[in-house]
Amino acid sequence: MKQFYTVVLDRLASFSGRLDSEPYETGWADELIAFVRVHEKASSTALRAWLQISPDGIEWIDEGTSAALSEGSSLLFMKARDFGGWVRLCVECDDECKVTTYLALKG
């Protein structure tokens, strides 16, 4: 059977501005779904998220996948493949918000 693992990158994390997750090693996985669950946020504030990849977990570049939180929703997701050995999840929100972020990895 394939391996599967959901890692919680940031749990109940409050921030405003930008939240970059810690580097997470993904070399074993073929595919992922990244989730951002929004616990608290001003209703009018936009929130978006995107993925970055890295050769070494130190230098980062946008992978190209991004998503914005839909109005009235508390959850967004992104799918990706061919991301190599490291992924991190970036979230941006202009006002104070509280999120839990995940990578659901399979390979």
Partner 1 sequence: MMDLNDYSPLKHVIFADDFDSGYNGWITLMPNFRQDKFDYYDSFKGWTAWGPPMLSSATFPYAGTHGSLHGTYSMKVASKPIAAPAEKRPVAGSLGMAIKRLTHRTEGLLKCEMWYTFTAEQSIPGIGENAIRAFGFFWDTANASSRTHFGARYLNSANGVMKQHWQLFKADESSTEPWGFEGSSAPGDSPDEKVTLVRGVDATWLGTRKPDGTSNGFYDIPDSTQKLCYNETPDKINWHYFALTIDLAKQEYVSLESVDRKWDLRGIKGTVVQRYPRIDWILNPVVFIETDTNRRVFLYVDSIVNSYE
Residue partners of 16: CB distance under 8 A and separation at least 6 = 93, 94, 95, 96, 97
Which residue's CB is nearer to partner 1, number 66 or number 100? 100
State yes or no: residue 82 binds partner 1 (CB under 8 A).
no
Shortest Å, Cβ 25 to partner 1? 4
H helices then E strands: how many in the chain? Answer: 0, 7
Task: Tell me which stretch binds partner 1 (CB under 8 A): 22-30, 60-68, 75-83, 89-97.
Answer: 22-30
Distances (CA, A) of 51 to 2, 72, 80: 23, 23, 9
Q: Which of 14, 42, 46, 59 binds partner 1 (CB under 8 A)?
A: 59
Task: Tell me which stretch binds partner 1 (CB under 8 A): 40-48, 54-62, 68-76, 88-96.
Answer: 54-62
